[in-house]
Structures are given as C-alpha cells and as structure tokens.
Amino acid sequence: MSTRRPVRARSRGYTLVELMMALALFSVAVVGIISMQKITVASNAHAKNLATAQRIAQSWAGQLEMDATQWRTAFGPGFLNSNGVWERPLYDNDRKFGGAFDGLGNPLTDGQLGQARFCTHVRMSWLYPAGVGATGNGMLRAEIRVFWQKEGTTALYSTTTLCATHTPVQAASIGLATDLYHFVYQTVGVRQHFQI
C-alpha cells in the first residue's frame, strides 16, 4: 500500500496583468463619469441663466403694459423713447426697477452696474402713431432684449461693466455679437387707452 500525499489544490489569486486590466477599465469609467458631470453642471448653469433672463424680460413687458394704462393723450409709456433704437433703461427709484440685474435677477441701481450679470435693452417703435386717426388709437411695439456674457468672454464695448450706457450704434451691434453674449428676446404691444 502506497502512501500518497494528498495533492493540494493550488490557491488561485489575481495575476498582475489581471489587476492592471481591472484598473484600466475602472479609470476609463471614472473619466467618463467626470466628463459627463462637467457637461451636466454647465447645462444646468445655462438653464438657470436662461430662466432668469426670461423672467427679467417678462417683468419688463409687465412694466411697459402697466405704463400703458396711464397713456391717455401724450406718449406715456414711462421712461423710454419711441424712436426705434435700442437703449438701456435707467434705474427708476420709484419703481425700484431698471436695466441691470444681478445673477439672481434682482434689479440693480445705476451705481451698482459693476455687479450686473444681466442687462436689458428696450426698443420702442410705432405701429400706429398716437393722434393719427381716432384719439386713443396709438400702439407701440416694445422689443425687450436681455443679454448676458458667455463664459470666458469680455464685453464688446466696455471692460468695466456689462451694462454700460452704449450709443445707439453700439447697442445695435451688441445684438449681432452672438459669439460674446447669450440673448432672450420678448416683444409686446403697448396700446394707448381711450380718454375717459
């Protein structure tokens, strides 16, 4: 009778090659997740800015429509002209509202323009001039443009503030600078009310 020793099964472990392959796959997965996270953060920031700009444009439309309720005889919509050029409205102390806004959409005074993240330009042009035809028949088209800078760019005409007072030519050319700014536009009709 022969005495044989029991054959011990070899203990199996991971080889160095298997370990390196696992680390490589893990690294690829982590890099993919990180890059996807960067895109998600940038998209969320843009969506927030877009929603804020839309809210500012709607607020301006509401202000102009509210002004029109007082427009009986002379041109009434508030603190803007009707010459068909883009302009940044000045801050109105009575309304606590103007053309510059911070990152959350809160109005800024003209002394706080350095903090502006969003800027508003308004262009008023006649659709039906007041006094032509029947009294109280005037109507204006109010175009509201809210804009903010794209990441990593500088303002077109001013290195100090986004909402600097621009000449009409400069204000018009800002609308063409789609490589520097994001834009939200809103148009509303502002109608004269009959004299009561």
According to the model, what pLDDT value does residue 10 have? 59
Q: Quick one: pLDDT band at residue 51, thresholds 50, 70, 90?
A: very high
pLDDT in tens, 153-195: 887 876 667 888 888 888 888 999 999 999 999 999 888 776 6
- Range 120-131 average pLDDT: 83
Q: Does 106 score more than 70 pLDDT?
A: yes
Contact 119, 163 (CB under 8 A): yes
Contact 56, 146 (CB under 8 A): yes
The helix or strand, by DSSP H or E, that contains position 185, with its residue range, turns out to be: strand 181-191
In 42-169, the DSSP E strands lie at 100-101, 107-108, 118-128, 139-149
Q: Does 44 score more than 60 pLDDT?
A: yes
According to the model, what pLDDT value does residue 41 have? 87
Q: Does 3 score more than 80 pLDDT?
A: no
pLDDT-above-70 percentage for the chain = 82
| Half-sphere exposure of residue 108: CA atoms within 13 angstroms, side-chain side | 23
pLDDT in tens, 73-93: 665 445 467 778 899 988 989
Q: Quick one: pLDDT band at residue 127, thresholds 50, 70, 90?
A: confident
